[in-house]
Amino acid sequence: MSTYSTPVLTTQRLMLRPLAATDARALYAIFSDPAVVRYWSAEPWTDISMADTAIARALEAYRDETELRFAIELAGSREVIGTVALHHFYNQYNRCELGYAIAKGHWGNGYASEAIEAVLDHGFNEVGINRVEADIDPRNDASAHVLEKLGFRKEGFMPQRWRVHGEYADTVFYGLLRDYWNDRKAS
């Protein structure tokens, strides 16, 4: 990843900004919800200290310039409703992974697509990323819809890749190239 700090990005309805210590309660509310983490490779958070640890890791990543992790805020109310990140950078290949989560009370409003689009646009145009990858549980229809709407293409399937919530879970891999992104934006 090139050298610079995590910016603040804005969309019509959202502000995407670096995480701060004051986000602990909001993040805990999001990631302690079993519905939100149903298809994640981790259990729901059980203590607010887990939010503090996640924020500390994000702050360290900002200093090390190893990921771009954003709090997703509603522009009007400043309520934190989720996170979106470009992480696991492979600098020699200009490749990274995408991760995101939205609080259950805000599902179905297009916030995930709006936030991810802003982050991808920044990643491709400002950071110089060439490829973004995402892996999801194939049962997560909403996430598949978001990725496909943004131009990601299905690229592979791995059965029983994770053990999540006491069961084996499959993975569907998605990829998005800068060329796909530019073609989508041009049309």
Q: Is residue 2 in a domain? A: no
Q: Which domain holds residue 108?
A: 9-186
Domain of residue 110, CATH code: 3.40.630.30
- Cα-Cα-Cα-Cα dihedral sign, residues 86, 90, 92, 95: negative
Q: Is residue 182 in a domain? A: yes
Q: Is residue 4 in a domain? A: no
Please determine, for residue 64, whether its predicted confidence score (pLDDT) is greater than 90: no
Q: What is the model's pLDDT at position 2?
A: 44
Q: What is the model's pLDDT at position 164?
A: 84
CA-to-CA dists, residue 91 to 28, 73, 104, angstroms: 31, 29, 34
Q: Is residue 121 in a domain? A: yes
Number of domains in the chain: 1
pLDDT digits (tens, 9 = 90+) for 128-154: 999 999 999 999 999 999 999 999 999
Q: Is 111 in contact with 81 (CB distance < 8 Å)?
A: yes
pLDDT class of 83 with cuts at 50, 70, 90: very high
Q: Is residue 3 in a domain? A: no
